[in-house]
């Protein structure tokens, strides 16, 4: 509806209210940021060429009868996002640093000057070092990543894996399932009978979806909140379990011990779905393998034991036992091909022995402070109810986060709680827009060219299955992806974002080690796990010597970075260690630091160039496509960007053209990129824009939508035009991106989604070394660490020996730092950074509420207000994520005291699923339970 005012004469307060209901046009929008899982469809109202306001659409359909729908979907950030489009912190013109980096002095310059100077530095860097010296840190911000990734691929730049930077990588799920991304649709939570908030605070982080949990409680479900602090989500829980920080594995293992000891575990589920029946040699602590028994065959073919019959080859192609029983206990003699005899026992027997000796409810109590009666009560509930672990992105940020998550998975395995509605565990997944990869990879527009890419993909899958007929399509796609890891030329990666070209990529751990000075930190023995048998460098060098990271161990010291492009990222705020870690090590190597953003970030303040980017509602984008929501959600262009801001695709298109222009003026014709692909400078603009076809934003997005429909993940006939009518469309298939296929479940049009149904109902194998959910990992490093089975280990003294542990979580008021300066949001919190501290800890240090305190350790310090609170566990300091670095004194935020340690086991490789695939297996930084203390500082 469009309305206009008949008169501008003020007649009363009613005029102000009525004025809000006048607009020129209405558009569909969403927020393409990492507020995962977002995808909230909103209506965007435009008047006089400006976005006037937005509101939740409330137009989502009922999916399954008897299950609540997704409406209304939204939060206070999205409902006020338009305020940031024209707020005082919006930067609308290109800027160039005038003083020293970080001095805060800038000059406004023209786009032509900015692009020319950046192009000159890029060409100089390619000539001096190579194309991989042009680096972008990965970002989950979907709104601008497509143009950036296309540019890197075209010029041959280097991309740092986003999950290695942000560490939303559930490494324990990866070690158990061979994938970390099982994700149910949020409406499936309604079907749960027992919901565990475990390293998640959904009242803060799932605002738009929380109603499903409340509705599940009305439906009879119970909710348990497991956390050291009494966080806001406890208000809606039936039980609060105030566990000691970082002690979760002992707690989880005690739950399993009770299920096994009381014989309430789901034994059939364990025998089929897990490696519990696999035989382990007692002499070597390794799996009994076909090559040992038969003297030939597969090294990754293991055995089970059938009572009364003996050895049975574990089926690698199907997990269902089909009436055959296998042993979970006992010791058996097996004759090997060389004539010798060894004793073997099932994995479960070893686990049961460890549980009984170390993890009874009474023995875990001194570690966790959770009463044994609570353990037994919860274990019995979990074993008899459809149990759903609401896992956030907190556990994975602990040093031993893998052990925390492996033991969580063990709890679900023992109780038979995955692959059934209302059950499971989750991390994140983004897939199903297969058209992004297809459109960016094909030689020209149109369906015929798309079919070329689809045919090549299908041929690759067929080839992998021909080599190993036991492979599922999921495993075949994953193995194809691993073969291409590190080289982004073609193919479909985890998040459907790899365009055609010749870029390179790597886990950022190698960047930190060689380019940013983290080698010294990681080798500090006192900050590492005290059970490490060798130094960090010994493990690191062994991993490289054995070729586990060949093609991925870059950028090497001889290939220093020269140009850093931050587009959708904020390295100085995001990186553990922040300014102290990077400004003296990495920054001097960089000839140009370019920030592309809509407002000044911590990194922008230390950059050389600031290029203003379009915001949501000012370009055509999509929300992150996730199984959590199951919709492709459109964020349309409702208004033009203010000032001279440009959308990222247009910006990189212009930069590519400028590189060709500058190269021509220097008489340069081309270069060979660091992956061996020769490029002509004059051809870069044509390659970027598909000979100009993608210069039209509508045409480019429509091509992606049509190719997605052609790939079968959304209904045929879906176009940009049809999306503009409804704003969203439900996915009908997973496509062939690994994160989609990792769900391993059918999509039914009138049913909620829960992952792993194919594993449970059909017996499809997991993509692990063992082809089942794998709890025994006989990799050399795991055996050496005593972590072949999940165990409890204390958190190391990261940052030094101090009495307190620093924890964090996503705040309620901002998507990371993006909304901190929004004038609506500013009225909902204290307006400046604070830390929450326990009342007794505060009193012991003479600190009162709202005092300034210095939080410190051996790494560094930061200053913030103290929020003295009884809900914080003694010995804990809480600093919520999302404050901008420049909101702190000296621009030093909470990440300054985080040493950024990585657990050495993340560098393991050469073992089935312990191999890198984009956003998967890699070393990741730890930041939770960093040791610290605090003291009052004068105002």
CB 98 within 8 A of CB 105: yes
* Strands, E assignment, 57-187: 95-97, 106-108, 134-137, 158-160
As a whole number of angstroms, the distance between CA 103 and CA 352 comes to: 60
Which 3 state secondary structure label does DSSP give 600? coil
CA distances (Å), origin 181, targets 333, 425, 743, 905: 39, 9, 7, 20
How far apart, in whole angstroms, are the C-alpha atoms of residue 193 and residue 181? 22
Give the full edge-to-edge strand order of the sheet including 332-335: 279-281, 341-346, 332-335
Closest C-alpha to 305, from 283, 323, 332, 267: 332
Both tokens of 863, joined, read: 């200053």
User: Contact 525/177 with Cβ under 8 angstroms?
Assistant: no
Q: Quote the CA–CA distance of 759 and 749 in Å, as a whole number.
A: 20
What are 867's strand-pairing partners? 836
The encoded tokens of residue 455 equal 């045919």
Q: How far is CA 786 from the centre of its chain?
A: 28
Sequence-ordered list of residues with C-beta below 8 angstroms from that of 179, at least 6 positions apart, any chain: 173, 478, 738, 742, 766, 767, 913, 920
Phi, psi of 273 (to 5 degrees): -85, -20
Predicted TM-score of the model (pTM) = 0.96
What is the number of other CB atoms lying within 10 angstroms of the CB of residue 224? 23
Planar angle of CA 293, 297, 300, nearest 5 degrees = 85
Q: Residue 230 has which token pair?
A: 């009494």
3-state secondary structure 912-935: CCECCCCCCCCCCECCCCEEEEEE
E-assigned strands of 667-738?
A: 670-672, 678-680, 728-730
- Positions in the chain whose pLDDT score sits under 70: 1-8, 143, 485-501
Angle between the N-to-C axes of helices 648-665 and 697-711, in degrees from 0 to 180, rounded to the nearest 10? 110
Cβ atoms within 10 Å, residue 123: 18
End-to-end CA distance of the chain: 54
- Would you give the DSSP letter of residue 769? T
Domains present along the chain, CATH in parentheses: 1-88+614-639+713-730 (3.30.200), 101-168+444-613+640-712 (3.40.50.740), 268-352 (no CATH), 804-936 (2.40.40.20)
- E-strand ranges in 512-664 read 563-567, 592-597, 609-612, 621-622, 631-635
Instruction: Count helices and strands (H / E) in the chain.
Output: 31, 31
Q: Are strands 310-313 and 504-506 parallel, antiparallel or unpaired?
A: unpaired
Tokens in use for 517? Answer: 């000075």
For the purposes of burial, counting CB atoms within 10 Å of the CB of 326, is it exposed (0-12), middle (13-18) or buried (19 or more)? buried
Question: Taking the CA of residue 232 as centre, how many other CA atoms within 13 Å lie in the half-sphere pointing to its CB?
Answer: 14
Whole-number Cα distances in Å, 196 to 221, 238, 246, 392: 11, 10, 17, 11
Q: Classify 47 as helix, strand or coil.
A: strand
Q: How far apart are CA 25 and CA 34, in angstroms?
A: 28
Tens-place pLDDT, residues 825-860: 888 888 899 999 999 999 999 999 999 999 999 999
Evaluate whether 671 touches 131 at the Cβ level (below 8 Å): yes
**CB contact at 8 A, 615 and 598:** yes
The answer to whether the CB of 744 falls within 8 A of the CB of 757 is yes
pLDDT digits (tens, 9 = 90+) for 29-44: 999 888 889 899 999 9
Name the phi and psi angles at 841, rounded to 5: -65, -40
341-373 residue pLDDT tens: 999 999 999 999 999 999 999 999 999 999 999
Going by the DSSP 8-state scheme, the letter that residue 487 receives in this structure is B
Widest distance between CA atoms in the chain: 102
The whole-angstrom separation of Cα 375 and Cα 255 is 6
Return the pLDDT at 139. 81
The per-residue pLDDT for 329 is 98
Strand 563-567 relative to strand 592-597, pairing: parallel
Give the integer Cα–Cα distance in Å for 840 and 845.
9
Q: 3-state class of 216 per DSSP?
A: helix
Give backbone dihedrals phi and psi of 621, rounded to 5 degrees, phi first.
-145, 180
- Helix 697-711, helix 434-441: angle, nearest 10: 120
Query: How many angstroms separate the CA atoms of 34 and 881, rounded?
Result: 13
Partner residues linked to 934 by β-bridges: 855
- Tell me the Ramachandran region of residue 575: left when phi exceeds 0, alpha when psi lies from -120 to 50, beta otherwise: beta
Closest C-alpha to 119, from 827, 840, 652? 652
332, β-bridge pairs? 344
Q: What is residue 927's predicted lDDT score, i.e. its pLDDT?
A: 94
Q: What is the pLDDT of residue 687?
A: 95
């Amino acid at each position: 509806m469009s309305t206009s005012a008949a008169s501008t004469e003020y007649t009363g307060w009613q005029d102000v209210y009525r004025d809000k209901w006048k607009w020129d046009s209405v558009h569909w929008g969403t927020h393409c940021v990492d507020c995962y899982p977002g995808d909230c469809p909103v209506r965007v109202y435009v008047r006089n060429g400006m976005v006037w306001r937005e509101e939740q659409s409330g137009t989502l359909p009922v999916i399954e009868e008897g299950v609540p729908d997704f409406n209304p979907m939204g939060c206070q950030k999205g409902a006020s996002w338009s305020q940031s489009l024209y707020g005082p912190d919006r930067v609308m013109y290109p800027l160039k640093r005038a003083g020293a980096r970080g001095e805060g002095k800038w000059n406004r310059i023209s786009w032509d000057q900015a692009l020319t100077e950046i192009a000159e530095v890029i060409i100089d860097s390619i000539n001096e070092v190579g194309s991989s010296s042009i680096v972008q840190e990965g970002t989950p911000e979907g709104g601008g990543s497509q143009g950036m990734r296309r540019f890197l691929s075209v010029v041959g730049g280097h991309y740092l894996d986003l999950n290695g930077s942000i560490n939303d990588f559930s490494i324990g799920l990866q070690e158990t399932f061979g994938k970390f991304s099982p994700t149910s649709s949020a409406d499936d939570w309604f079907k749960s009978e027992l919901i565990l908030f475990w390293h998640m605070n959904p009242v803060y982080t799932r605002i738009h979806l929380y109603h499903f949990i409340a509705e599940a409680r009305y439906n009879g479900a119970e909710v348990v909140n497991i956390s050291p602090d009494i966080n806001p989500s406890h208000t809606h829980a039936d039980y609060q379990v105030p566990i000691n920080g970082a002690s979760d594995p002992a707690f989880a293992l005690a739950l399993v011990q009770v299920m096994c000891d009381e014989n309430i575990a789901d034994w059939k589920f364990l025998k089929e779905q897990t490696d519990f029946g696999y035989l382990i040699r007692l002499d070597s602590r390794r799996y009994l393998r076909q090559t040992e028994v038969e003297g030939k065959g597969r090294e990754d073919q293991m055995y089970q034991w059938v009572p009364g019959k003996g050895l049975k080859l574990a089926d690698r192609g199907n997990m269902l036992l089909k009436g055959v029983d296998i042993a979970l206990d006992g010791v058996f003699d097996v004759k090997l091909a060389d004539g010798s005899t060894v004793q073997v026992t099932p994995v479960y027997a070893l686990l049961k022995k460890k549980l009984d000796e170390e993890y009874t409810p009474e023995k875990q109590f001194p570690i966790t402070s959770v009463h044994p009666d609570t353990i037994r009560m919860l274990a019995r509930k979990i074993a008899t109810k459809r149990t759903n672990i609401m896992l956030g992105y907190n556990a994975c940020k602990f040093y031993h986060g893998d052990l925390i998550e492996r033991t969580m998975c063990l709890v679900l395995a023992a109780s038979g709680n995955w692959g059934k509605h209302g059950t499971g565990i989750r991390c994140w997944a983004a897939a199903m827009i297969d058209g992004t990869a297809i459109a960016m990879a094909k030689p020209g527009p149109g369906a015929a060219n798309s079919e070329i890419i689809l045919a090549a993909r299908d041929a690759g899958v067929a080839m992998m299955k021909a080599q190993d007929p036991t492979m599922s399509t999921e495993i075949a796609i994953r193995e194809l992806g691993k073969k291409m890891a590190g080289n982004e030329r073609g193919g479909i990666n985890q998040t459907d974002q790899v365009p055609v070209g010749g870029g390179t990529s790597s886990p950022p751990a190698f960047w930190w080690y060689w380019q940013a000075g983290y080698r010294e930190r990681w080798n500090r023995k006192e900050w590492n796990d005290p059970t490490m048998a060798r130094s960090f460098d010994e493990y690191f060098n062994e991993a490289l010597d054995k070729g586990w990271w060949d093609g991925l161990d870059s950028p090497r010291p001889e290939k220093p970075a020269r140009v850093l492009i931050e587009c959708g990222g904020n390295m100085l705020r995001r990186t553990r260690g922040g300014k102290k870690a990077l400004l003296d090590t990495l920054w001097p190597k960089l000839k140009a630091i370019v920030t592309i953003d809509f407002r000044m970030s911590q990194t922008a303040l230390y950059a050389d160039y600031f290029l203003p980017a379009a915001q949501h509602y000012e370009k055509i984008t999509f929300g992150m496509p996730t199984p959590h929501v199951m919709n492709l959600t459109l964020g349309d262009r409702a208004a033009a960007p203010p000032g001279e801001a440009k959308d990222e695709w247009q910006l990189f298109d212009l930069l590519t053209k400028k590189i060709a222009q500058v190269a021509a003026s220097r008489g340069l014709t081309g270069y060979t990129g660091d992956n061996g692909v020769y490029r002509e400078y004059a051809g870069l603009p044509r390659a970027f824009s598909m000979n100009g076809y993608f210069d039209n934003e509508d045409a480019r997005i429509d091509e992606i939508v049509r190719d997605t429909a052609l790939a079968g993940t959304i209904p045929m006939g879906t176009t940009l035009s049809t999306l503009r009518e409804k704003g969203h469309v439900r996915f009908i298939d997973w496509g062939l991106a690994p994160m989609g296929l990792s769900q391993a479940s059918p999509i039914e049009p009138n049913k909620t989604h829960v992952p792993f149904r194919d594993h449970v109902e059909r017996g499809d194998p997991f993509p692990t070394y063992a082809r089942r959910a794998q709890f025994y990992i006989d990799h050399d490093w795991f055996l050496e660490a005593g972590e072949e089975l999940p165990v409890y280990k204390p958190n190391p003294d990261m940052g030094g020996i101090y009495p307190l542990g620093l924890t964090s979580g996503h705040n309620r008021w901002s998507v990371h730092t993006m909304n901190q300066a929004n004038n609506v949001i500013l009225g909902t919190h204290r307006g400046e950074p604070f830390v929450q501290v326990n009342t007794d800890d505060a009193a012991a240090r003479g600190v009162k509420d709202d005092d300034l305190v210095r939080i410190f350790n051996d790494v560094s310090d930061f200053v913030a207000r103290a929020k003295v609170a009884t809900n914080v566990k003694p010995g804990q300091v809480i600093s919520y994520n999302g404050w901008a670095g420049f909101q702190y004194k000296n621009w030093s935020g909470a990440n300054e005291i985080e040493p950024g340690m990585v657990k050495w086991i993340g560098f393991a490789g050469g073992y089935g699923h312990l191999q890198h695939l984009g956003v998967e297996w890699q070393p990741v930084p730890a930041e939770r339970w960093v040791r610290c203390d605090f003291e009052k500082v004068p105002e």
